[in-house]
């Protein structure tokens, strides 16, 4: 009988211990806030899915890369103008431009060279860069608009026959060529202010 009684006590103790040991409740993390996206052309942010957020981040990186390429090209463009043109594409031109854009640029630079003209004094001011969502030319993947004000620069063969630079707004279209982003086409118009 002692054996049966000690078995009951042992069972009762085991049940009491089990009742006191409840499994720990999992800690719930607060819900992650949904990401917010900003329209490609700018504007008010709005909640979006992770997929569209990733698309926005990728597009932002593409615009940042395009602006860096544009700035590098524009610095080389100014250097070539101040040097009086070139007859062959420079390494920077080959790195930043391709196709029709390169051909059009070289036509201008060869003309400067043949007329013995160059840019003197002043500053080539880049007033702004703007995104151009949804536009594409020549299989471009992104487009940027830039306004340049070289009105303080004189361009010509000599001081007597030089003219001030012309304000221009250019939309540059960028394509991937062997993995590199390059200017491939452009639309340019003369403007009165940037």
Q: Which domains does the chain have, with CATH numbers?
A: 36-190 (3.10.450)
User: What mean pLDDT comes out for the span 12-21?
Assistant: 45
Nearest to 123, CA basis, from 159, 165, 170, 162? 165
* pLDDT(145) > 50: yes
Longest dimension (CA), the chain: 128
pLDDT of res. 42? 86
Distance from C-alpha of 159 to C-alpha of 141, rounded to nearest angstrom: 42
Cα torsion angle, 13, 19, 20, 24, sign: positive
Write the pLDDT tens digit of every residue in 94-123.
999 999 999 999 999 999 999 999 999 999
Distance from C-alpha of 17 to C-alpha of 128, rounded to nearest angstrom: 74
Helix axes 99-114 and 50-83, enclosed angle (nearest 10): 20
* pLDDT(78) > 90: yes
Higher pLDDT, 44 or 13: 44
The mean of the pLDDT values for the chain is 87
User: What mean pLDDT comes out for the span 136-162?
Assistant: 91
Distance from C-alpha of 81 to C-alpha of 112, rounded to nearest angstrom: 8
* pLDDT(17) > 50: no
Distance from C-alpha of 50 to C-alpha of 161, rounded to nearest angstrom: 59
Q: What percent of the chain has pLDDT over 70?
A: 84
- Contact in structure between 144 and 166 (CB atoms under 8 Å): no
- Contact in structure between 159 and 194 (CB atoms under 8 Å): no
The backbone torsions φ and ψ at residue 122, rounded to the nearest 5 degrees and listed phi first, read 60, -160
**pTM of this structure:** 0.80
Specify the length of the chain in residues.
194
* pLDDT(44) > 80: yes
């Amino acid at each position: 009988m002692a054996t049966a009684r000690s078995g009951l006590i042992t069972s009762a103790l085991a049940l009491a211990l089990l009742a006191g040991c409840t499994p720990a409740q999992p800690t719930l993390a607060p819900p992650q806030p949904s990401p917010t996206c900003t329209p490609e052309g700018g504007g008010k942010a709005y909640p979006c899915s992770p997929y569209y957020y990733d698309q926005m981040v990728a597009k932002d990186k593409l615009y940042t890369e395009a602006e860096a390429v544009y700035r590098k090209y524009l610095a080389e463009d100014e250097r070539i103008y101040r040097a009086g043109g070139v007859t062959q594409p420079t390494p920077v031109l080959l790195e930043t431009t391709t196709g029709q854009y390169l051909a059009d640029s070289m036509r201008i630079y060869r003309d400067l060279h043949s007329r013995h003209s160059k840019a003197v004094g002043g500053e080539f001011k880049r007033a702004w860069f703007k995104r151009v969502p949804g536009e594409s030319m020549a299989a471009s993947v992104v487009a940027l608009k830039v306004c340049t004000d070289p009105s303080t620069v004189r361009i010509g063969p000599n001081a007597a026959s030089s003219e001030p630079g012309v304000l221009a707004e250019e939309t540059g279209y960028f394509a991937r060529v062997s993995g590199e982003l390059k200017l491939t086409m452009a639309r340019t118009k003369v403007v009165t202010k940037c």
